[in-house]
Amino acid sequence: MQRFAHNSRRIFSLLLVLVLLLPCFAFAAEQPVRLNSLIKADTEQLEVRFLTTPTNAKSDATLVICHGKEELQVIVVDGGLGNGVCFLELANLRKALMESLGLGDEVKNKNYKLALTLFITHFHKDHVEELCVNILPSSLFTIDAIYMPPATALVTDGTYNNTKNGDIKYRPRILDLVKHHTPSTSVYELEYGQTLELALACGNAKIYAPLEDWGIGDKLKYIESVYYSGGNVLKRKDEVPNVVLNANSEWLHVSLGDYSVLFTGDIMKKKGDRSDEALDLMANAYKDEVISDIVKYPHHGIARNPAAPIVKNQLLKKDGIAVITTDGARAAAGTHLEMLGTSYVTTEDGSYTFIIDEHGITCHLVE
Ligand SMILES: [Zn+2]
């Protein structure tokens, strides 16, 4: 009898321990699973998806998916307008990857995270709104790192009124969202003139920060006189106006073997008789190393005619292809590229995917 009592006490203690440990087991089960680490490719491949831009919408979002032998890396180059296009593409990518891993039943389980790397060319609505409204707040993703250009004329000496600086509309908002939703994310805010090389899950990337700040001194005066004089004066709502952020776009060059892709953000070129505008200076400073097979045309393709020869002669390889991301009504670039005998595609027709591997580049349109 005594022995029985002793045993039952032991069983009771054991049960108690188990009950106390239960939350730990539950906690262990809730540890997030990084899907990227489960996906290993046999052959390295870069997949570049320029996402569709519906007619009359100026939006910019591209996924660069590196199918590496150790893991999969997903780089979001800008996210576009907050219209859900980029979010849906990423959610569908996560779903497809989970299905390929036999985890189709777990798609609704938010512990399975797709890790993303975010690259921001500049802080304009048509490039970053989707990050704010759909991607950063989503629990489907985790953000490894975020790369962004240096702040524009954010001075503390009273030279400018920062509340009238176009740069603060999205930059602080994104930094706040990162702090709130994904505090462990590494944030890389480059310096003017800085370049940064990165090894990707397959291939390499190099980031080119703007050379100088177009939001101060003579550079700001140039922007004011060319873009905001005469009838355009009312367009200048801020002391550091919109076009400054365009001119300060950060570039991204991604390569695998001999093939590469260049993202130029909304860098500006307006005057054919000048060679010191933002696009000229970047193209001249980084010459041979940025020449690519695929170039995201500056400023969606609405950059003025003088940009086309620079794209053709300084940014694209001989048989390269430019990608334009605005609707035909506003795209000036297409006609000019055609006249120069340079090929281009436009995301107005749908999403364009380029697959790059050791054999070359293939292109697919998803309407
Ligand atoms: Zn833009």
Q: Compute the distance from residue 109 Cα to the ligand 1 centre, in Å.
A: 35
Q: Compute the distance from residue 335 Cα to the ligand 1 centre, in Å.
A: 20
Q: Compute the distance from residue 107 Cα to the ligand 1 centre, in Å.
A: 33
* Domain residue spans of the chain: 28-366
* Distance, CA of 239 to CA of 224 (rounded, Å): 10
Predicted local distance difference test score (pLDDT) of residue 235: 74
Predicted local distance difference test score (pLDDT) of residue 326: 81
The tokens for 340 are 């120069």
Q: Does residue 192 surpass a pLDDT of 50?
A: yes
Q: Compute the distance from residue 339 Cα to the ligand 1 centre, in Å.
A: 24
Q: Compute the distance from residue 176 Cα to the ligand 1 centre, in Å.
A: 22
Lowest-pLDDT choice from 185-189, 285-289, 334-338: 334-338
Q: Does residue 90 surpass a pLDDT of 90?
A: yes
Q: Compute the distance from residue 140 Cα to the ligand 1 centre, in Å.
A: 27
Q: Compute the distance from residue 191 Cα to the ligand 1 centre, in Å.
A: 21
Q: Is-contact 121 163, C-beta < 8 A?
A: no
Q: What confidence tens digit (pLDDT) does each residue in 247-282 have?
A: 999 999 999 999 999 999 999 999 999 999 999 999
| Three-class secondary structure of residue 108 per DSSP | coil
Predicted local distance difference test score (pLDDT) of residue 38: 97
Q: Compute the distance from residue 170 Cα to the ligand 1 centre, in Å.
A: 13
Average pLDDT over residues 158-170: 73
Quote the strand ranges of 237-283, DSSP E: 251-256, 259-263
Q: Compute the distance from residue 328 Cα to the ligand 1 centre, in Å.
A: 15
* Distance, CA of 256 to CA of 137 (rounded, Å): 31
Q: Does residue 186 surpass a pLDDT of 90?
A: yes
Q: Is-contact 60 80, C-beta < 8 A?
A: yes
Q: What confidence tens digit (pLDDT) does each residue in 212-240 have?
A: 999 888 999 999 999 988 777 777 777 77
Phi and psi based region of residue 360 (left: phi greater than 0; alpha: psi -120 to 50; beta: remaining): left
Whether this prediction's pTM lies above 0.85 is answered by yes
Quote the strand ranges of 149-264, DSSP E: 186-189, 195-199, 204-208, 251-256, 259-263
Predicted local distance difference test score (pLDDT) of residue 105: 97
Residue entry with tokens 């938010």: 110
Predicted local distance difference test score (pLDDT) of residue 228: 87
Average pLDDT over residues 284-311: 92
* CATH fold for the domain made of 28-366: Metallo-beta-lactamase; Chain A (3.60.15)
Residue type, 171: R
Residue type, 27: F
Between residues 301 and 235, the one the model is more confident about: 301
Of 331, 351, 365, whose CA–CA distance to 56 is shortest? 331
The tokens for 9 are 């006490």
Predicted local distance difference test score (pLDDT) of residue 184: 94
pLDDT band at 103 (very low <50, low <70, confident <90, very high): very high
Q: Is-contact 167 151, C-beta < 8 A?
A: yes
Neighbours of 93 (CB within 10 A): 18
Q: What confidence tens digit (pLDDT) does each residue in 311-363 have?
A: 999 999 999 999 999 866 566 788 889 999 999 999 988 899 999 999 999 99
Predicted local distance difference test score (pLDDT) of residue 57: 74
Predicted local distance difference test score (pLDDT) of residue 159: 60
Q: Is-contact 205 252, C-beta < 8 A?
A: yes
* Distance, CA of 185 to CA of 145 (rounded, Å): 5
Q: Compute the distance from residue 200 Cα to the ligand 1 centre, in Å.
A: 26
What's the Cα-to-Cα distance from 23 to each of 28, 111, 112, rounded to whole Å? 8, 17, 20
Q: What confidence tens digit (pLDDT) does each residue in 109-119 have?
A: 999 999 999 99
Q: Compute the distance from residue 266 Cα to the ligand 1 centre, in Å.
A: 5
Between residues 26 and 60, the one the model is more confident about: 60
What's the Cα-to-Cα distance from 168 to each of 184, 246, 296, rounded to whole Å? 23, 14, 25
Q: Compute the distance from residue 126 Cα to the ligand 1 centre, in Å.
A: 5
Give the angle 327-332-335 at the CA atoms, nearest 5°: 105
* Distance, CA of 350 to CA of 188 (rounded, Å): 32
Q: Compute the distance from residue 250 Cα to the ligand 1 centre, in Å.
A: 12
pLDDT band at 1 (very low <50, low <70, confident <90, very high): very low
Of 101, 85, 41, whose CA–CA distance to 65 is shortest? 41
Average pLDDT over the chain reads: 89
Residue type, 295: V
Residue entry with tokens 């054919």: 272
Q: Compute the distance from residue 190 Cα to the ligand 1 centre, in Å.
A: 20
pLDDT band at 153 (very low <50, low <70, confident <90, very high): confident
Predicted local distance difference test score (pLDDT) of residue 244: 93
What letter does residue 54 receive in the DSSP assignment? -
Q: Compute the distance from residue 248 Cα to the ligand 1 centre, in Å.
A: 12
Q: Compute the distance from residue 203 Cα to the ligand 1 centre, in Å.
A: 27
Q: Compute the distance from residue 299 Cα to the ligand 1 centre, in Å.
A: 6
The tokens for 335 are 């006609």
Predicted local distance difference test score (pLDDT) of residue 150: 94
Best-predicted range by mean pLDDT among 23-32, 95-104, 336-345?
95-104
The tokens for 154 are 């954010």
The proportion of the chain whose per-residue pLDDT surpasses 90, expressed as a percent, equals: 71
